[in-house]
């Protein structure tokens, strides 16, 4: 049995197959996922699991060099923004309009759906390297 923190087999396999500069997205329960984008649905009920729980779990195994967030998170969900920054203090952030972030989901290897019920709790992670 796997000993590390990501035990969801689909998510673990996805992370293991990520290369430098590949994109993985995580989002709230209401984020629309483009047709053709793989969706790993972890949502069980409202706020279970939370965006932060899933992000922390993925960050335990994925090297991240840059993140993409909706510009709107600054005013519509500053608490979530602060929590993201605390988990990724040295990672570059690029803010884009929410409509652009939704379009960019089509470029990600997968979208991980959480049970999060707060606005603009969506992120694109750009993988880094471990060497």
Q: Which residues are catalytic?
A: 20
Binding-site members are: 28, 98, 120-122
Binding-site members for substrate are: 28, 98, 120-122
The contacts of residue 99 (CB under 8 Å, 6+ apart) are: none
What pairing do the DSSP bridges indicate for beta strands 23-27 and 39-41? unpaired
Tell me how far apart the alpha carbons of residues 97 and 70 are, in angstroms, rounded to a whole number. 5
Greatest Cα pair distance, the chain, in angstroms, is 43
């Amino acid at each position: 049995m796997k000993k590390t923190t990501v035990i969801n087999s689909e998510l673990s396999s996805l992370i293991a197959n990520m290369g430098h500069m590949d994109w993985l997205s995580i989002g709230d329960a209401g984020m629309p996922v483009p047709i053709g984008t793989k969706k790993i649905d972890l949502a069980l009920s409202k706020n279970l699991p939370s965006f932060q729980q899933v992000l922390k779990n993925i960050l335990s195994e994925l090297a991240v060099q840059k993140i993409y967030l909706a510009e709107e998170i600054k005013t519509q969900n500053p608490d979530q923004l602060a929590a993201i920054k605390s988990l990724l203090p040295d990672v570059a952030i690029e803010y884009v309009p929410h409509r652009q972030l939704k379009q960019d989901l089509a470029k990600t290897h997968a979208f991980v759906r959480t049970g999060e019920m707060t606005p603009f709790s969506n992120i694109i992670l750009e993988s880094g390297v471990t060497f």
